[in-house]
Amino acid sequence: MREQLLGIDIGTSACKVAVFDVEGHVLAQSTQPYAVYYPQPGWAEQDAQEWWGAICAGIREVLACGEVSAEAVCGVGVDGQSWSAIPVDRQGNVLARTPIWMDTRARDICARVKEKLGEDEVFRVAGNDFLPSYTTPKMLWFRDERPEIFERTDKFLQSNSYIVWKLTGVMSQDLSQGYGIHFFDMSRLCYDPKLARRLGLSADLVPRLYRCDEIVGTVTKEAAQATGLREGTPVAAGGLDAACGTLGAGVYRPGQTQEQGGQAGGMSICTDRPLAHKKLILSPHVVPGLWLLQGGTVGGGGTLKWFRAQLGDGRSFDELTAEAEKVPAGSEGVLFLPYMAGERSPIWDPDAKGVFYGLSFDKTRGHMIRALLEGVAFSLEHNLRTAAETGVSADVLNAMGGASNSVLWTQIKADVTGKTIRVPSSDTATTLGAVLLAGVGCGLYSGYDEAVRRTIRITRVQEPDMERHALYQRQMELYLELYERLRPLFSRGC
């Protein structure tokens, strides 16, 4: 068999495992679900051990495919959701569930840190605001609220680094996920021990930093028995899911932009220097020497998934979007704020709520669906406008994620933003990005130019309708005003 690469994507609702040939063709793939736990308001947790169980099942499933062979797998790449804080002891045993990216339990801790240190000192080093979704406040929460766990913790791991540990027995911290740790120096790409101490932590609580394409180790005998992989298979450090998806969408040069339509939404603009904005997210790209100025939103494909589960009456996603297609652009005045679990960038409001505005007796489910699709597109436009304040612009967006399979939703995003949208093989962009890291690390590709040229193909291009763009730009102002007027009410609760 020809050389193969295996990618693992640790998502919010499920893990995906996919095997590719060196030309980027998917040979087999598996999706294995797991739970999100909500034990208290503002909390959102997952069990890293459940990730590992799902991944073992997924790997065994793809290896059972006739076109895949463990002997042919030359490398493994792992990407994962952001801002985990998995406490493990010296033996790598998980001590507690990890708060995930939606978790905002550390709000009070963030307020105290900002009061003590000031906002500018941390931002100057980290390039990101000190907000409860990030890893550092969660580490402090364990210190303050679960001291019995904190005292036993040897390292806090990220989602992908935990799986790399399970595969290789090596604890690692890839550069792209470093942005969740506020004593990670965004410009120098190293830890700042002095800032760690000022935050009341130690740089020893996180593993050694690795390049994302660096081979951390190889599959151990125990991992081979659990997964079916060949013992000794090289494993790359991997990286942030959004960054791997950005690479897998063909965005790896300065000025290129990715648009994300997975469970969450957002965008990533590739730059050759660390351009920070307090309302956005800055991380190193998985490609060395580059950074990503990102907007990460709660509202993405998950909004339509929610609507289908609650109000879809058993209809498929295609059937629901077909209803939306019958409604004119602008949904005849119906607007949707997609803040279904608070909101991340650029408003960073954990109290924000999802809102339908403009309903009346003459409105249909189709109006609500189209307004939902448009609301997610408005959240993308909000982030692009914010990024423009740094002097960065995006002319063409490369789309990824399940939402980009919808021609209607992609067209709405093009019309709202006024940008051309190119769609590569969307369903596999994130796992493809992960395997490209392994392929470069193993030497199957000479570099990222060859990796992208050989594996990434654009399936369609959608141009904006500028008349609809003008309509949407007017509606965008109402979208922004709605949030500002409702913001004082969101924090009141019931």
Mean per-residue pLDDT, 268-289: 96
Mean per-residue pLDDT, 238-257: 95
242-494 CATH fold: Nucleotidyltransferase; domain 5 (3.30.420)
Instruction: Dihedral sign for Cα 484, 126, 99, 172, please.
Output: positive
CB of 80 closer than 8 Å to CB of 238 = yes
224/59 Cα distance (integer angstroms): 10
216/218 Cα distance (integer angstroms): 7
CB of 126 closer than 8 Å to CB of 120 = no
Q: Which helix (H) or strand (E) holds 45?
A: strand 45-46
- Token digits for 195? 């800032």
Mean per-residue pLDDT, 326-346: 96
At the top level of CATH, which class does the domain 4-237 belong to? alpha beta
Mean per-residue pLDDT, 425-439: 90
38/99 Cα distance (integer angstroms): 10
Q: Which string of DSSP letters, residue by residue, matches 477-494?
A: HHHHHHHHHHHHHHTT--
| Mean pLDDT for all residues in the chain | 96
Alpha helices in 316-364 (DSSP H): 317-325
| pLDDT over 80 at 493, yes or no | no
CB of 127 closer than 8 Å to CB of 282 = yes
* Long-range Cβ pairs for the range 62-68 (8 Å, 24+): 62/6, 62/17, 62/18, 62/19, 62/27, 62/28, 62/29, 62/30, 63/19, 63/28, 63/228, 63/229, 65/19, 65/27, 65/28, 67/1, 67/19, 67/27, 67/28, 68/4, 68/19, 68/27, 68/28
- Token digits for 288? 């060395």
> Over the stretch 457-477, which tens digit does the pLDDT of each residue have?
999 999 999 999 999 999 999
C-alpha distances (whole Å) from 193 to each of 126, 172, 184, 225 are 13, 17, 9, 39
Mean per-residue pLDDT, 167-173: 98
> Over the stretch 404-420, which tens digit does the pLDDT of each residue have?
999 999 999 999 999 99
350/110 Cα distance (integer angstroms): 13
Q: What percent of the chain has pLDDT over 70?
A: 99
Q: According to the model, what pLDDT value does residue 491 have?
A: 84
Mean per-residue pLDDT, 297-313: 94
> Over the stretch 139-163, which tens digit does the pLDDT of each residue have?
999 999 999 999 999 999 999 999 9
367/323 Cα distance (integer angstroms): 8
395/343 Cα distance (integer angstroms): 25
Mean per-residue pLDDT, 5-11: 97
Q: Is 472 helix (H, G, I), strand (E, B) or coil?
A: helix
| pLDDT over 80 at 425, yes or no | no
| pLDDT over 60 at 494, yes or no | no
pLDDT bucket at 261, cuts 50 / 70 / 90: confident
For the chain, domain boundaries: 4-237, 242-494
346 φ, ψ to 5°? -95, 10
Q: According to the model, what pLDDT value does residue 194 have?
A: 97
| pLDDT over 80 at 91, yes or no | yes
Mean per-residue pLDDT, 215-239: 98
| pLDDT over 70 at 426, yes or no | no
pTM of structure: 0.92
Q: Is-same-fold flag (4-237; 242-494)? A: yes
Give the β-pairing of 173-174 and 86-88.
Answer: unpaired
| pLDDT over 90 at 203, yes or no | yes
